[in-house]
Amino acid sequence: MKDDLYSQIIEDTAELVRRAAHPRKGTISLSPETAALLERIRVRPSVDPPVVAETPGDGVALLQALAAEVSECTKCDLCHSRTQTVFADGNPSADLVFVGEAPGYNEDQQGIPFVGRAGQLLTDIIVKGMKMRREDVYICNVIKCRPPENRDPTLEEKRQCESYLIRQLELVRPKVICALGGHAAKTLLQTDESTGHLRGKWHFYHGIPLRVTYHPAYLLRSPGEKSKTWDDIQEIMKVLSGEIAPEPPAGEKTLWD
Ligand code: SF4
């Protein structure tokens, strides 16, 4: 239904642009405001029918099959510059999924998300702060291939790759998602708001409670913000312990409902 709505918006916008266009050297002039509006309209990747795992073992096997599919993916140009794809790390039936934006140099070299100094800080948050093991959570990124020179992924790259994330979440079925940093949060929530505005409250990604916090790399540069991340992590721990259960907006179903 949502996809139909987005498609309708795109079609209506295209029709309005067609009607407003004046042929002039084959170009269409748009005001900066209209261009900004169009930039914000992002088509959700189509969500295939849920891939239902009959047993926990099925989920693991299906995730392995998906990882193999991703390793061969050539849907966007990032396939040309990657060393290897970076699919995920951790427990395939975890209650908590951390989602970052895209692999960096170390991740591209090792094929594992969140390694290097930022990855070590995330591990410290999990182990020392949450008293869990890194193997207890599931860690992945929106984008599975490293953008050259660590540039921001384009909208098209995100759109192409996000369908893999959705299928991962269908199979892992977490209770809660933690978006690490502004890029991941903006992609998942389709917003331009800053991390500062997004953190401190519950959001939902396809019906799954989502908390936004600062990226570990940012915390390395701004250690004064660590206490805010700890506040976010404590809210996530309340969901994991069953102390709270954020309710999605009426009518919003999870991927597997
Ligand atoms: S970034 Fe995603 S969509 Fe692009 S080639 Fe890699 S796996 Fe495929």
The reply to whether 123 falls in a domain is yes
Query: Whole domain around residue 195: which residue ranges?
Result: 55-241
For residue 189, is it within any domain? Answer: yes
Within a domain: 250: no
Residues 147-181 pLDDT 10s: 999 999 999 999 999 999 999 999 999 999 999 99
* 128 in a structural domain: yes
User: Of 207, 215, 213, 218, whose CA–CA distance to 245 is shortest?
Assistant: 207
Domain presence at residue 234: yes
User: Mutual orientation of helices 56-71 and 155-172 as an angle, nearest 10°?
Assistant: 160
Q: Which residues pair with 98 in a beta bridge?
A: 139, 178
**In the prediction, which pLDDT does 30 show?**
52
Q: Per-residue pLDDT for 203 more than 80? A: yes
**pLDDT single digits (tens) 14-69:** 555 455 544 444 445 555 555 554 444 444 444 444 455 555 557 899 999 999 99
Which residue is listed with tokens 């193999």?
68
From 160, 165, 183, the mutation candidate for ligand 1 (largest count of ligand atoms within 8 A of CB) is 160
Tell me, yes or no, whether 15 lies in a domain: no
| Residue 187 belongs to a domain | yes
pTM: 0.81
Residue 26 is predicted with a pLDDT of 44
Tell me the CA–centroid distance for residue 215 and ligand 1, in Å: 22
Name the domain count of the chain: 1
Tokens of 176: 């809660």
Q: Cβ(78) to ligand 1 under 6 A?
A: yes
In DSSP notation, 74-85 reads -SSTHHHH-SS-
107, 113 contact by CB (below 8 A): yes
pLDDT tens digits, one per residue of 72-98 = 999 999 999 999 999 999 999 999 999
Predicted confidence band at 225 (pLDDT cuts at 50, 70, 90)? very high
CA of 51 relative to ligand 1 center, distance in Å? 20
Residue 192: which CATH number?
3.40.470.10
Asked if residue 146 is part of any domain, the answer here is: yes
The radius of gyration of the chain's CA atoms, rounded to the nearest angstrom, is 19
The helix or strand, by DSSP H or E, that contains position 90, with its residue range, turns out to be strand 89-90
